Structure 1
Amino acid sequence: MNIEQLRQYCLKKKGTTEAFPFDNDALVFKVLGKMFVLTSLAKWERGEASINLKADPDYALELRAAYDGIRPGFHMSKKHWNTIYLNEGDFSPNFIFKLIDHSYDMVVKGMTKKMKENLL
């Protein structure tokens, strides 16, 4: 997987925008203004790609136990976010896309009814 594949996949999701809200390195994908993916462009360029994704707390723990390359979210809520270190595991693009879907769904799940209606 490369950064452009990640970007294209995220932008296909309804209500998704991309931004650099923190600096010129931290690329964030949001659904209706709520973050569901955070990644560092510099790390991709250095071959150290990682992605921060939201997860159900129990699922987050399951993933951490099953994969060495998945750890508590770096600079994020450790309960709700995981960091996936792409070069530390044999992660297929489809697996990463599944985790992105879960992150997106978790963010949408926490939205108000009115916000969810905007995604229809």
Structure 2
Amino acid sequence: MNIETIRDYCLSKPDAEETLPFGPDVIVFKVNNKSFLLLPLDTEELRFNVKCDPDLAIELREQYSCVLPGWHMNKKHWNTIVVDGTVSSKLIREWIDHSYDLVKSKKK
């Protein structure tokens, strides 16, 4: 999985949009005008932030070394995923789906 794969997957979601509110180095994917994935472009290692149910967030951090508390985010609700090859692309897509679904379900 690479930046383009993640970008394409996020943009394939209904009503998803790509924004650059923090400048050219971080792509923010939104639905209903709310962020569901932040993708920095200026890191050596591919990583991104996704929203997560708080209980699941803790569980994933304990189970997977590539899942960290959300960098520069509310650590209760956000995880940083380091794309280091330790988990499958399918699982990464599931985490993106979870984030998208959480944000999509919120009222505008």
* TM-score with structure 2 setting the length: 0.95
Write the distance in 2 (CA, Å) between the matches of 1:79 and 1:8: 27
In terms of fraction of residues, the more helix-rich structure is 1
Q: Provide structure 1 residue ranges, at least 5 long, that are not aligned to the other structure.
A: 113-120
* TM-score with structure 1 setting the length: 0.86
Q: CA deviation at 1:54?
A: 0.2
Higher relative contact order (CA 8 A, sep 6+): 2
Write the distance in 2 (CA, Å) between the matches of 1:2 and 1:86: 8
User: 1:61-72 alignment to 2 at 5 Å?
Assistant: 61-72=58-69
Q: Percent identity?
A: 49
| Greater radius of gyration (CA) | 1
Number of aligned residue pairs: 108
Task: Please name the residue that 2:78 is paired with.
Answer: 81
Q: CA deviation at 1:110?
A: 1.9
Q: CA deviation at 1:68?
A: 1.2
Runs of 4+ displaced beyond 4 Å: none
Task: Please name the residue that 2:7 is paired with.
Answer: 7
Root-mean-square deviation over aligned CA pairs? 1.1
Q: Provide structure 2 residue ranges, at least 5 long, that are not aligned to the other structure.
A: none
